[in-house]
Structure 1
Amino acid sequence: MSTNFPSAVQRYCKAKKHSKGTSDEYKATVRKWINWGQEIPLEQLSRSSIRDFLDWIYDDAVKQGGENPERTSNKARDHVRAIAAWAWENDIIESLPRFPKPRPQRDVAGRQYLSKAELNALYFATYQMRRPRAWKQPHPFGQYWRSAIVLFFNYGLDTGTIWKTKTTHEPLLWRHVFWSHESPDRQSKLRSRYGWLFYRRVKTNKSFYRPINRAVHAHLRRLQPPMFVPEEPIFVGGTARPNAVFKRLIALAGIRDKVDIETGVAKDWLLKDLRKTCATYYDEHMPESSIEILGHSVSGVTYRHYAHRDPLAFKAIMTIPQPSAFMALLRGIEGECPCCRRKFAGE
């Protein structure tokens, strides 16, 4: 009995337990296969048929005005190759078909992270943020955003972890902050001088117990209410569209749009770029530490089950150099220019 490509992809994604984002990419390849219109069983895949499919994807991407059709074709090639390898391992096909070589693609992209000078400007620009109407929170509107930027930089959090923008998100609550030195994770024997933070990733729902460093500790203590309410969210002021607020903050900081080097197209900065910024500086400070801190999926049985990565993440978080603006609160110059000590306008 022959196996069609869409059903093979469905079985493959179910067996591999991919994240939603990865599964959506495979579903997109399935839609392209259906639109291609050639019903070739998986057992009859050959180099020529795979080349025809990839050529069709390339031509279709060109017609739609894609900026990098070579990359689109190569991504579909990787998907088909992964499906074929899985089918061969599970005795669905007798042998692996030969694959055409990938097309040369443009891998050069513009800078996708904020420099430390831009992070400083972003931090100080929060003093100019206008508070929303009927603002009744105990702290200024910008104070929540300053603290959020510090957490984005140190942990690479998802937007939904800071502000609950969807009903399925679990935001940071005050019960997720532990001020004790001992880790709340019973499997860890590490001790943090400033406490611990618990959160879950939006994409994978994986839980993390991370140490709190000096900069994060100062900003969380600054937000801590007089009366401890465990179920209260730590951060407010994100509104229903936090990226819209972030774009206004970018404009206040005078940060130029990010530009693709190849196409020259200007794009807006998004809160997701703070996660990329976090990964960039962690890998610069301690190579491979961003994999564990950001919760990226990794391959290899040894890495996933036997390699103990907690000490690496602990050391990286506790020692990563902070942008100078993040230390203003600790140095007693909150709300003042670090060079001339003039008060910022706004708050």
Structure 2
Amino acid sequence: MSISLESVVVKYLEAKKLSRGTRKEYRSTVTKWVSWESCVDVDEIERIHVREFLDRVYANAIENGGSNPGRTANKAREHLRAILSWAWEQDFIEKLPRLPKPKPQRDVAGRHYLTKSDLNALYFATYQLPRPRGWKKNVTVGHHWRAALVVFFNYGVDTGTVFKCAGFHEPILWRHITWQPEPPNGQGQDSRHGWLYYRRVKTQKQFYRPMNRVVHTHLKSIRADSAQLDDAVFDGGTSRPNQQFQILCDLAGVKPKRDMETGEERPWVLKDLRKTCATYYDEHMPESSIEILGHSVGGVTYRHYAHRDPLAFKAILSIPQPEAFNALVQGFDGECPCCRRKFLQA
């Protein structure tokens, strides 16, 4: 019995935990497919149909004045690939059609990651953060931001995982941190510095990650003796952490990011630290960012049979840290580890 692509996508979106924006993009691709005069049912899709559809999407993007029609067509191609792969796994189709090659696209979005010199400047700028009104913790707000920068860099977590900004966010709590070397889920090898548990905001996927020495030291530095297991680990001193992060960028002298195509300047946000994490992990150990950041990957074998935990374990314990992150490890709290220059503690 024939089944339309629209029906398959409805089932696909019900089965997958995708964000609202991603769901909207999938529905947009289906709308383009349905409005295409040569659309066919899922079990009849061949490579020629996909190629003609992508050519039509490419042509429409040019007619509508799109600045990067190749990227528009390639986005539709990725949506079709994901939908057809899922339909094949669910036995809606007997075989997967071969997809045409991606369209040429312009990849000049500019630099969307922070350099290690930027991270060093941000780390030391935390000593200049003013004391928030009503702050009663035994350490300064700068201590929390320094620990947060370390966690962002090493794990690429979402903003809501560190600073709870919305009701549905699940921040890291003290009960999510295990100081014992044994893995809390009973899988993998021991980590001498303990373990960290968190859940992704977008997919709700659970992660048990080892802590390296830098992460362990910074989390220890903000732990109070009276801390309860259900208390949040990080406190940015504000309900708008991105606004505070932009103040931190101004204090550190980090220039806004610039789009190389349009020349437009945009302020850095905490999500850019996730992109920074992916950049340095791929530079340090190729393909390690896929597992560490929890990106979805294609292929049944890769998803269900390839064991990626040892790769993530090795990458986290061996990734080179920015020089400033080692200051506290070496006992230089408030001093630059290379020149021992003092930094004013607010």
- TM-score after normalising by structure 2: 0.86
Does residue 295 of structure 2 align to residue 303 of structure 1? no
1:55 aligns to what? Answer: 59
Matches within 5 A, 1:82-93: 83=83
What percentage of aligned pairs have identical amino acids? 59
Matches within 5 A, 1:143-292: 143-188=143-188, 190-237=189-236, 239-292=238-291
1:228–1:89 CA distance, 2 compared to 1 (3 A): closer
Structure 2 unaligned spans of 5+: none
Deviation track 1:64-92 (CA, whole Å, cap 9, x = no partner) reads xx542331233224434655677789897
How far apart, CA to CA, are the structure 1 residues paired with 2:91 and 2:192? 54
Deviates more, 1:2-11 or 1:96-105: 96-105
1:55–1:98 CA distance, 2 compared to 1 (3 A): farther
2:11 aligns to what? Answer: 11
Deviates more, 1:44-53 or 1:285-294: 44-53
2:112 aligns to what? Answer: 112
How far apart, CA to CA, are the structure 2 residues paired with 1:215 and 1:98? 46
Q: Shift of residue 107 of structure 1?
A: 1.9
How far apart, CA to CA, are the structure 1 residues paired with 2:170 and 2:264? 35
1:128–1:89 CA distance, 2 compared to 1 (3 A): closer
Q: Shift of residue 262 of structure 1?
A: 2.9
3-state SS, counterpart of residue 218 of structure 1: helix
Aligned residue pairs, count: 340
Deviation track 1:204-224 (CA, whole Å, cap 9, x = no partner) reads 111111111111111111011
Deviation track 1:313-339 (CA, whole Å, cap 9, x = no partner) reads 111111111111011112222112445
1:131 aligns to what? Answer: 131
Q: Shift of residue 185 of structure 1?
A: 1.1
3-state SS, counterpart of residue 251 of structure 1: helix
Deviation track 1:178-211 (CA, whole Å, cap 9, x = no partner) reads 11111111233x1111111111111111111111
Q: Shift of residue 23 of structure 1?
A: 3.0
1:67–1:265 CA distance, 2 compared to 1 (3 A): farther
3-state SS, counterpart of residue 126 of structure 1: helix
1:58–1:4 CA distance, 2 compared to 1 (3 A): farther
Q: Shift of residue 22 of structure 1?
A: 3.9
1:7–1:132 CA distance, 2 compared to 1 (3 A): same
2:26 aligns to what? Answer: 26
Q: Is the 8 A contact 1:4 1:39 kept in 2?
A: no
How far apart, CA to CA, are the structure 2 residues paired with 1:139 and 1:89? 52
